[in-house]
Structure 1
Amino acid sequence: MDNQSKNQQNVILMSDYQPHCGYAPLSVVEAYWEALRAGRQMPKRAEIDPRGIETALEYAFILERVAPGVARMRVAGSHLHDVMGMEPRGMPLTAFFEKDARIRIAGLLEEVFQTPCSTEVQMVSTFRQGIPQLNARMVLLPLKSDLGDVSRILGCFVSHGELTDAPNRFEISDISLRKLDGTPLDSPVPAEPEIEGFSEPSAPFEAAPMEMNPEEADTAGSPKRPPYLRLVKSD
């Protein structure tokens, strides 16, 4: 069987799939991923064919895990370019988020890779005076590499609102995790990172040892020690 025949087997058209919501591309990508895995835990990265998600292609992306909590974009649709105002390929996913949200995204990525599981994230862009805020949603779906490890993600990112002043960065408003069998999964990602600042752990208080004066030492029968300092008087 030649490569063209193999690729045609991976094309599962979702052009007629129109869910009743404002984030149709998310459902198209997720339905394609579900159909492609065909009862397996997840599909492989090599099985993804852009023709299968043609109607959602501008919103889709592929992530590669490069370090714990870090996944970079290897493929990215034009909508992500518009959101950031620059080429997103090579960027970490955390670049789309404000500083306070990045620790949550890093933890979320590890949950998707390690559990593994799928997730949907609801977001809102950072408030800026005179600039309309954006509402956005994103799905992350795990993939296996050619080596069989879970180190890729098929994702989809859709924002609603006028893209006027890029780059746009987002805060997280909600996260939902699902096991690969579809059952909900509690998110272990903390709502807010603990702020430590410049504080240091306080040292435990220890009382100084009590010293007896020479008279008390003699009374107690202990040997009298010479004083540390001696006054020498000279004319």
Structure 2
Amino acid sequence: MTAKLQGTSVDICPDRLEHPTLSAIHAYWDAKRGGRAMPARADINPPELREHLGWIILLDVLPDLSDFRYRLVGTKVARYFGGDGTGQTISEAFQAFGAGAIKGVQAVHRKAARDRVPVRARGEAAWLADGFDYFDSVYLPLSDDGRTVNMILSAFVFDYAVVRASSESALP
């Protein structure tokens, strides 16, 4: 399934990830979940992701999916976002970019948390500090009890040739 979200394509088929960093993080998440719907935060061992840590974000899911709080923002992601939002909610971190950006970012996270499935988002990020840029990302739910998503592990890559080419049309 693909849906348009304010200039961004949202896909629940992360097996189509072209970028090696996103593919590796998704494969890691998939291996850690085993036969479960999703792994727990305790299953994620950051040193095992050392090569990709700069591109990773870890968020806490707030009650009723009202918002999401950044627990960790990788250094490479922070550079593209124009700062490290660790400790802030999406509403706080994206306030300067306007209500549309806040709603769009929250919607992608809510989809991963509510549906308990990996979600891919890609497209133009006009709200980035340096103006228009292209991104590809994956949002991977984590659950301590196997049912309720309490964290989301996500990863971003920016200005990638495949992202630029594919952002011009939706996935088939």
- Normalized against structure 2, the TM-score is what? 0.70
Matched ranges for 1:46-195 at <5 A: 46-67=42-63, 68-93=65-90, 95=93, 98-126=98-126, 133-145=132-144, 149-160=148-159
Matched residues in 1 for 2:156 and 2:170: separation? Answer: 14
Please give the secondary structure, in 2, of the residue aligned with 1:27: helix
Seen in structure 2, the aligned counterparts of structure 1 residues 31 and 88 have a Cα distance that, compared at 3 Å, is: same
Partner of 1:153, secondary structure, is strand
Please give the alpha-carbon distance, in whole angstroms, between the structure 2 residues aligned to 1:126 and 1:119.
21
Spell out, residue by residue over 1:124-182, the C-alpha distance to the aligned partner (whole angstroms, 9 max, x if none): 13289xx6631111110000137963110111011127xxxxxxxxxx98898xxxxxx
- Return the alpha-carbon distance in structure 1 between the equivalents of residues 146 and 34 of structure 2: 20
Distance 1:111 1:126 in 2: 22
**Structure 1 unmatched runs, 5+:** 1-18, 162-171, 177-235
* TM-score, structure 1 normalization: 0.53
- SS state of the match for residue 108, structure 2? helix
SS in 2 for 1:157: strand
Q: Tell me how many residue pairs correspond in the alignment.
A: 145
Q: 1:55 to 1:106 in 2, by over 3 A?
A: same
Question: Is contact 1:124–1:173 with CA below 8 Å preserved after alignment?
Answer: no
Q: What is the rounded CA distance, in whole Å, between the counterparts of 1:127 and 1:107 in structure 2? A: 16
Q: Contact 1:69 / 1:107 at 8 angstroms: preserved in 2? A: no
**Structure 2 residue aligned with 1:45:** 41
CA spacing shift, 1:45–1:78, aligned 2, 3 Å: same
Paired with 1:24 and 1:148, the residues of 2 have a C-alpha distance of 29
Computing the radius of gyration over CA atoms, which structure comes out larger, 1 or 2? 1
- Deviation per residue, 1:96-133 (Å, 9 max, x gap): 565323223323322221221110001313289xx663
The change in CA–CA distance for 1:82 and 1:65 in structure 2 (over 3 A counts) is: same
Alignment of 1:24-43 (within 5 A): 24-43=20-39
